[in-house]
Amino acid sequence: MINRQTLLILLLFLVSLLAWQWSSQHDNQNTLLQKKDLSLPSFTASKLHNQRYSADGKLTDIFTADQALYYQHNKVTDAVHPVLQTFEPNGQKAWNVSANSGQMISNDRLILRDSVLIKNHNPALNIDRMQTSYLEMDMNSRQISSDKPVTIDSPDYHVQGVGLHADLNTKRYQILDKGHATYFKPR
């Protein structure tokens, strides 16, 4: 015969089992919800237009994108057709950097993918454009780098190679490997 005390203990055990199951299910849902939160952008913008200025009020660059998805938790903005237009201190357009897709990280680092194109707007420089499939850019120092094949074109030469370091401020670039330059018709 089960006496009353054992019955009570059994009942208590059953209730705590049910409570434990309910709370772990609840936690799972929470973590699922959180995960779901993180994968959702904090906000999305279409036709993003973001201008940055130097300390003395000069326009340094304009960042635009057809669409931008911003994730608060890691400060990353995924961008569709991102374009970065940079300006010389004298206000003249300098470089136009674009791609099919990209990410801006913490508002000063840019990763660009797929048909990356860097167009020169400074007529004094003997270079038209640089093209690659992947690029990383520090928007403050305007240093760019890629480990992918790259081509560089100007009115009188064509360069191809693998790997690029460039400093858009000092207007210097380095091809890291397999450099092949063709000077069309020497003047």
Partner 1 sequence: KQSDYQQPVVVDSVSQEAELNENKVTFLQDVTITQGSIIIHADKVVVLRHEKGNDEMIATGRPATFFQILDNGKPVNASASELRYQLKDRLVTLTGKAELKQDDNQVNGDVIRYDIQKQQMIAQSSGKGSRVKTIFLPQEIEEFNKAGKP
* Interface positions with partner 1 (CB under 8 A): 125-127, 152, 159, 161, 170-187
Cβ nearer to partner 1, comparing 30 with 174:
174
Integer CA distances (angstroms), 143 to 44, 113, 173, in order: 28, 16, 10
How far apart are alpha carbons 8 and 17 in whole angstroms?
Answer: 14
Cα 56 to chain centroid distance, Å, stands at: 27
Contacts for 45 with CB less than 8 Å, ≥ 6 apart: 65, 67, 68, 70
Cβ nearer to partner 1, comparing 56 with 177:
177
Shortest Cβ 170–partner 1 spacing (Å):
7
Cβ nearer to partner 1, comparing 43 with 184:
184
Cβ nearer to partner 1, comparing 117 with 127:
127
Shortest Cβ 174–partner 1 spacing (Å):
5
Both tokens assigned to 53? 């200025």
Shortest Cβ 87–partner 1 spacing (Å):
17
How far apart are alpha carbons 180 and 162 in whole angstroms?
Answer: 10
Cβ contact 151:158 at 8 Å: yes
Shortest Cβ 117–partner 1 spacing (Å):
17
